[in-house]
Structure 1
Amino acid sequence: MPRGQKSKRLQGADETESLRGDQAAAAAAEECPTSPVSGGSPPSCPAPAPSPGSAPPDPLTRKAHMLVQFLLGKYKMGECITRAEMLKAVKKKYKEQFSEILRRASEHMELVFGLEVKEVDPGNHFYALITMLDLPSEGSLTSDRSVPKTGLLTNILAVICLKGNRATEEEVWESLGVLGVYAGRRHAIFGEPKRLIINDLVQPEYLEYRQVPGSDPPRYEFLWGPRAHAETTEMKVLEITARDKINETVPRAFPELYEEALRETATS
């Protein structure tokens, strides 16, 4: 399979960047780590505002961020959502712009948290949050609703696919940085992300984390774990990746990778 292919930023990167700036501000009050973590930038408290040179978020992006927080609260409670509730969360004076706000929030929910905002009853405008990776309900990622983790898992699995069935720790953190998730920097939702990845993705065997053979000093890499192979497929991960516009393309743009995923699907 081809190696070294770079994943591109999603089409709405500016919107995600603005949401990330808001999130960084929210995380500023969190405790900062005191020791470095492999693969990340030097530990330091995030600035209480977007980085210098970045434009402040526009009003619709701020409202989209508010809607994301509202939707995450609903997810934790396991509740359905109505359009009226969402409109109330962003203030009714934004009724005319609500469709755009919902679009931005939905993109963010899919990309970062792996949750689709789906209208399940158009007549009554009821919505639900659907896990996009569709892992078995008894799996550790779906039984614990406190933190939606399938978005992180999907992104890491996709990077591993694109890097030839293995991705270095540096490559994984580079990809997660697009989502505003950095090693050694506490995240407002995920907490300390490396701890979450090791405890909730590596230990349950969705991912394998090992030393790169022959590396000195030691370097580490991620591979698909046996549970990921059992519960999902490369094809599904690639479809979600393309849908989220991370690569701004469809899986057929990676012919060898796509063919291998098709073979895996045919033999499963």
Structure 2
Amino acid sequence: SEEGAQGPEEESADAARAALLTRSIRKDPLMRKASMVMDFLLERYTKKEPITQNGMLNVIGRKYKQHFPEILSRASERVELVFGLELKEVDCSRNIYTLVNKFSLGVEEGSSDEEELPKSGLLMALLGIIFMKGNCASEEEIWDFLSVLGIHAGKKHSIFGEPRKLITKDLVQKGYLNYRQVPNSDPPGYEFLWGPRAYAETTKMKVLEVLAKIQDKVPSSFPDLYDEALRDQVERAGLRGVARVPIMAEASAPTRAKSYSSSHI
């Protein structure tokens, strides 16, 4: 939890990167249309209504019809990244689509409700923003990012219900997020960090891949974050190696003893 400690210059660079992410999504007209299509897809999904190409074309308007393939690509990618739902065409002749649940983390475990929708994609996006902000993001920064995705505090969402409860309580109780008061803040401010279960079930490289996809880039496009993600992989590999050493030593002990005794007969 102390990984977030940084100097003013590093913090400023992190803030600039996160701000650039939200601005790039807001300003891109095709991304705005993709957001509209995404809302359309989610609405159809929750109402169990068919998703048609004509319906999506009506949403984006005649002016952007020629850009439909790219808009649909962006919308389907964001639906998958943020909501864990994959868009598939089920009837090519009539251009009818459906959304299919995809699970990547154990967020949905213990749910017997078939209507429970995946939250893994949203969690990965949250972990990514926290990582981008130097492993510690303020509550204001989190909500600013979520607002770009149409998710607002206190406003019920068609997929996630009341998002504040989901983020500050549900995901915290499950160990995926750490939500704490900023030390010595007056009035009290709050911040998010990765929870222990997030460290156990995913990696910085995986969440960096999500961040990169959101911006149509590759992980190495963010050199500082990419280097940190690589260090994280090395550290994890080292810890796994240390954990295996006692087991391997214990397993090989009888073999060494047998070899010694046989050589001294």
TM-score of the two chains, using structure 1 as the length reference:
0.63
More helix by share: 2
Distance verdict in 2 for CA 1:12–1:232, change over 3 Å: farther
Equivalence for 1:155: 125
Q: Any unmatched runs of 5+ in structure 2? A: 1-5, 60-64, 238-265
- The question of 1:200 aligning with 2:170 is answered yes
Distance verdict in 2 for CA 1:108–1:263, change over 3 Å: closer
Distance verdict in 2 for CA 1:19–1:10, change over 3 Å: closer
CA drift of 1:158 comes to 0.9
Give the whole-Å Cα distance in 1 for the aligned partners of 2:54 and 2:208.
Answer: 33
For each residue in 1:38-80, what CA deviation from the matched residue of structure 2 results, as whole angstroms up to 9, or x when unmatched? Answer: xxxxxxxxxxxxxxxxxxxxxxx56x64333334566xxxxxx
Q: 1:3 aligns with which of 3, 7, 11?
A: 11
- The question of 1:239 aligning with 2:247 is answered no
Residue aligned with 1:165, SS: coil
Give the whole-Å Cα distance in 2 for the aligned partners of 1:178 and 1:92.
Answer: 22
Task: Report 1 or 2 for greater relative contact order, CA contacts < 8 Å, sequence distance ≥ 6.
Answer: 1
Give the whole-Å Cα distance in 1 for the aligned partners of 2:30 and 2:46.
Answer: 18
For each residue in 1:97-141, what CA deviation from the matched residue of structure 2 results, as whole angstroms up to 9, or x when unmatched? Answer: 885674354134134413333679x9xx99763537x22487469
Distance verdict in 2 for CA 1:105–1:254, change over 3 Å: closer
Give the whole-Å Cα distance in 2 for the aligned partners of 1:190 and 1:92.
Answer: 26
Q: How does 1:1-268 map to 2 (within 5 A)?
A: 2-4=10-12, 5=14, 6-7=17-18, 8=21, 9-10=24-25, 13-15=28-30, 17=32, 61=36, 65-72=39-46, 86-87=51-52, 90=55, 99=69, 102-117=72-87, 129=100, 131=102, 134-136=104-106, 139=109, 146-245=116-215, 248-266=216-234, 267-268=236-237
Give the whole-Å Cα distance in 2 for the aligned partners of 1:142 and 1:265.
Answer: 35
Equivalent residues of 2:85, 2:99 under 8 A apart: no
Equivalent residues of 2:124, 2:207 under 8 A apart: yes
Distance verdict in 2 for CA 1:14–1:126, change over 3 Å: closer
Equivalent residues of 2:205, 2:229 under 8 A apart: yes
Distance verdict in 2 for CA 1:253–1:184, change over 3 Å: same
Give the whole-Å Cα distance in 1 for the aligned partners of 2:72 and 2:203.
Answer: 29
Distance verdict in 2 for CA 1:66–1:228, change over 3 Å: same
Letter of the structure 1 residue corresponding to residue 218 of structure 2: V
Distance verdict in 2 for CA 1:91–1:164, change over 3 Å: closer
CA drift of 1:241 comes to 1.5
Equivalent residues of 2:46, 2:158 under 8 A apart: no
Equivalent residues of 2:11, 2:133 under 8 A apart: yes
Larger radius of gyration: 2
CA drift of 1:150 comes to 2.0
Residue aligned with 2:11, SS: coil
CA drift of 1:218 comes to 1.4
TM-score of the two chains, using structure 2 as the length reference:
0.63
Give the whole-Å Cα distance in 1 for the aligned partners of 2:181 and 2:58.
Answer: 54
- Bigger mean CA offset, 200-209 vs 96-105: 96-105
* Number of matched pairs: 214
CA RMSD of aligned residues (A): 4.0
Letter of the structure 1 residue corresponding to residue 167 of structure 2: I
Distance verdict in 2 for CA 1:265–1:116, change over 3 Å: farther
Give the whole-Å Cα distance in 2 for the aligned partners of 1:67 and 1:181.
Answer: 15
